[in-house]
Homo-oligomer: A and B are copies of this chain.
């Protein structure tokens, strides 16, 4: 745990266009924390007394089933906030949160943040935009889980990742078992699905690297075509 300077906050989406005074006030209530790989940041049911921004590393937000299966709701990348919804509606965290790589995060006590929100329309609007995007992400996750087969979810993931990477070569940002949990399945099924794509020459797989060989086919599968 350490102090945070205003310049630490500059450049993050949530704090863009903020007047300097607001940034300074935010920095004053913030504390910096380091987490080792695998370390818990918060658990489902904990009192949501803080909102976080990830500076460095990678963090997963996930739920567990009664028999221990894991659904990853979100993989947080550097610069993104997390725990917002819980902290801002003053209840418990609705999911678990764990660092999946060495990470540095900034913690804002919920009360302080809420108070600052009321005095900073720009911060409030930024927060609203962030929440809206999050909601979009969740809507598409619901769609995927309820209405798409695993092959379509995987195809969509690869296409999205290739857009982000601006390349046909996708390097998975997480281990395959975690990707499986993200896609709402298990690693065995992911492995089999990836094999079907490989056998059809739609992708080439080399460890964490996946090359898209036949984009149109992948798009058809993402749109619901059976394979």
Contacts and interface: CB of A to CB of B under 8 A. Distances in A.
A128 to B, nearest CB: 6
Given A138-B142, A140-B94, A132 B66 contact: no
Interface string A140-156: 11110111100000000
How many of these chains are in the complex?
A: 2
Contacts of A133: 89
Given A118-B121, A121-B118, A85 B135 contact: yes
Contact of A128 (B67, B120, B127): B127
Given A71-B146, A124-B124, A66 B223 contact: yes
B135 A134 contact: yes
A84 interface: yes
Nearest to A140: B94
A132 B65 contact: no
Contacts of A121: 117-121, 124
27 contacts: A63-B143, A65-B146, A66-B223, A66-B224, A67-B224, A69-B147, A71-B142, A71-B146, A71-B147, A85-B131, A85-B139, A94-B140, A95-B139, A95-B143, A114-B125, A117-B121, A117-B128, A118-B125, A120-B121, A124-B128, A127-B128, A135-B135, A135-B138, A138-B139, A141-B142, A142-B142, A146-B184
Given A71-B143, A85-B139, A145-B184, 20 more contacts: A63-B147, A64-B147, A66-B148, A71-B142, A71-B147, A73-B139, A73-B142, A84-B132, A85-B135, A85-B136, A88-B129, A89-B132, A89-B133, A89-B136, A94-B140, A117-B121, A117-B124, A138-B139, A141-B142, A142-B145
